[in-house]
Structure 1
Amino acid sequence: MSQNINKIVLILGANSDVAKECIKKYVAKGFSVIAASRNLQSLEEFVHANNLNSKVAILHFDSSDFGSHQKFYDALSVKPHIAVYAAGFLVENEIALKDFSGTQQMMQVNYMGAVSILNIIATDESNKNLERIIGLSSLSGVRGRKSNFVYGSTKAAFTTYLAGLRQELSHRRIKVNALVIGYIDTKINAGLELNKNLIMQPDYVADFIVNAGNTFTIVPNFKWKIIYFILKILPESLVAKLP
C-alpha cells in the first residue's frame, strides 16, 4: 500500500456502480481518488457513507460537454497516475433505431467523450505521473449483432481507439487496458432480460480494473472469456443467427 500513498487515480464517470466499487478498492490500496461525474450529490452520499472523504475528491465532469474537457483537466491540481474512463450510456436497440437522440447520446458518452478527454490526458507529456489509462468497453462491441449493434458500435469504436492509444503511448511506457465486459448487475442494465448465469457483480468487475496488468484486453470471468473467443472466430453466417 505504501508505494501508492502519493498516487492519484482519476475516475471519469465515477457514479456508475462499477466505478464506485473501484473507488473503494483504490483507496484500500493506498491511492487518492478524484471521482468525476455529473451527479455530484450521489457521489457525495456514497463517499460519506463509506467514510472516504479524506481520500476522495469529487469534481463535476460531463462527458458530453466536450468544450469543457480541457478546462476540467487544466484545473486538476495534481495530474493523475491512473485514468479510468467508466462513463457509459445505453439505449435499447429498437429505440435507438427509431430515435437518433438516444443513439447520439450513446455516441457522445461511450465514444466521443472518451476520446475527447483521454486525448487531452494522453498528450500531456508534462505529466510525468501518468502510468496507465483504463477504458471500460463491452462484449457488445466484439461483433455486430442485431439485438444491440447500435450500442455495440460505440463500444467497438472505443476498443479500437484504446488499441491505437496503447501503441501511441508505448514509447512513454504508459499502459493502456480495455476491459471488455459482459453483463453486470448495475443500474444501466436494470429492466433488461439477461441470462442470470452470466451476470457479474460490480465489485467482482472492479477487482479486474484495479488490478489490471500488462494485457491489453481484459475479459472478467471465464464464461465471458469463452464467449469472447467464440464471438471472435464465429463465421458471419452464424453471427447473423444470434439474437
Structure 2
Amino acid sequence: MNQNTSKTVLILGANSDVAKQCIIQYLEKGFSVMAASRNTKSLQDFITAQHLNPEKVNVLYFDAADFGSHQKFYYDLPVKPHIVVYAAGFLVDNQKALTDFKGAKQMMEVNYMGGVSILNIIAMDESNKNLERIIGLSSLSGVRGRKSNFVYGSTKAAFTQYLAGLRQELSSRKIIVNALVIGYIRTKINEGLELNESLIMEPDYVAKYIVNAGNSFTIVPDFKWKIIYHILRLLPESLAAKLP
C-alpha cells in the first residue's frame, strides 16, 4: 500500500469532507500530508478520531480569503510540496448572492481569488524542485451558466480557466495541473439542498479521483457526471436557458 515514503502533499482547504478523505488516501499511498485550514481544531479531531499517524500529518492554519497572509504561509511551510490540492470552497444560495453582495464576494474570494493568490505563489517558486502536480477542485456548475446557481458557477468557471492557463504556463517545467470538475457530493456544503439522490457521490469516491489523478486536464468523477458534463458543454443556448 505504501508506494511513496518521501513525498509530501499540501491540501489547502483541508477541512472539507472530500479533503479529509484525501488525507486518508494520500497517507495510504505513503505520502506525508500538510493539511491547511482555518479550522485546525476540526482537523486535529479528525486525525485523532481516524487514528491517523500524527507524525505524517502536519496541521497548518490557512485562510483562503486572507490574501496578504499567503506569501508568509508558503515560505513558512516545513517542506515544499510535491503535490498541491486546492480544495477550499464556499457556497451561498443564488438568490442570497444576488441580493447580498457579501455572500457573492465571499464565494469569489474563497473559490477563485484565494486559489489564484496562493497557487501563483506556489507555481512561481522555481526553487521548489519538488513540485510535480497542482490539483484544483472545480464544479459542473462552472460549465454553463444556469438560473439556479450562476453566481457560484461563475467563480468555478473562472477557477477552471485559471487552471487551464496555469497548466500551459507550467508545462515546460513538467508540472501537471488538473481540474476536478465535480458534481453533487454528500458533503456539508450541500446539506439541506434538494438533490437527485442517484447522482450524489460519496466523498471517499471523489477523493480517489484526486489522489489518483493522471495527465488529463479535466477529470470528471463518475460516468453519469461525464455524460452530463458533455451535454452541458454542447447544449444549444435555447435549451440551456430552460435549465433550472
TM-score, shorter chain, exceeding 0.5? yes
Partner Cα separation in structure 1 for residue 4 and residue 134 of structure 2: 16
Q: Within 5 A, what are the aligned runs for 1:42-121? A: 42-52=42-52, 53-121=54-122
Rate the CA distance shift 1:28–1:3 in 2: closer, same or farther, 3 A.
closer
Q: Secondary structure at the match of 1:242?
A: coil
Instruction: Quote the sequence identity (%).
Output: 77
Inter-partner Cα distance in structure 2 for 1:184 and 1:3: 28
Between the aligned partners of 2:212 and 2:2, the Cα distance in structure 1 is 16
Residue 154 of structure 2: aligned partner: 153
Instruction: Give how far 1:87 is off.
Output: 0.3
- TM (normalized to structure 2)? 0.99
Correspondence for 2:164 = 163
Find the aligned partners of 1:3 and 1:15 in 2 and give their Cα distance: 25
Q: CA deviation at 1:139?
A: 0.0
Deviation (angstroms), 1:3: 5.0
Between the aligned partners of 1:199 and 1:241, the Cα distance in structure 2 is: 23
Q: Report the CA distance between 1:143 and its aligned residue.
A: 0.3
Q: Is the 8 A contact 2:183 2:225 kept in 1?
A: yes
Question: In 1, distance between residues paired with 2:105 and 2:117?
Answer: 15
Letter of the 2:16 partner, please give it.
S
Deviations 1:163-218 (A, max 9, x none): 00000000000000000000000000000011111000000000000000000000
In structure 1, the residue matched to 2:218 is 217
Correspondence for 2:11 = 11
What CA deviation, in whole Å up to 9, does each residue of 1:141-168 have, x standing for no partner? Answer: 0000010000000000000000000000
Instruction: Give the distance between the partners of 2:116 and 2:161, measured in 1 at CA.
Output: 11
The aligned residue for residue 35 of structure 1 is 35
- SS at 1:58's partner residue? strand
**What SS does structure 2 have at the residue aligned with 1:191?**
coil
The residue type paired with residue 96 of structure 1 is A
Give the letter for the 1:49 counterpart.
A
Report the more deviating stretch, 192-201 or 45-54: 45-54
Which amino acid in the other structure matches residue 99 of structure 2?
A: K
**How far apart, in 2, do the equivalents of 1:241 and 1:50 lie?**
45
CA RMSD of aligned residues (A): 0.7
Give the CA deviation at 1:2.
5.3
Per-residue displacement from partner, 1:31-74 (whole Å, max 9, x unpaired)? 00000000011000001111221210000000000000000000
**TM score, norm. by length of structure 1:** 0.99
Partner secondary structure for residue 237 of structure 1: helix
Does the alignment pair 1:174 with 2:175?
yes
Which amino acid is the alignment partner of residue 122 of structure 1? Answer: A
Q: How many residues align?
A: 243
Deviations 1:99-128 (A, max 9, x none): 000000000000000000000000000000
| Aligned counterparts of 1:60 and 1:106: Cα–Cα separation in 2 | 20
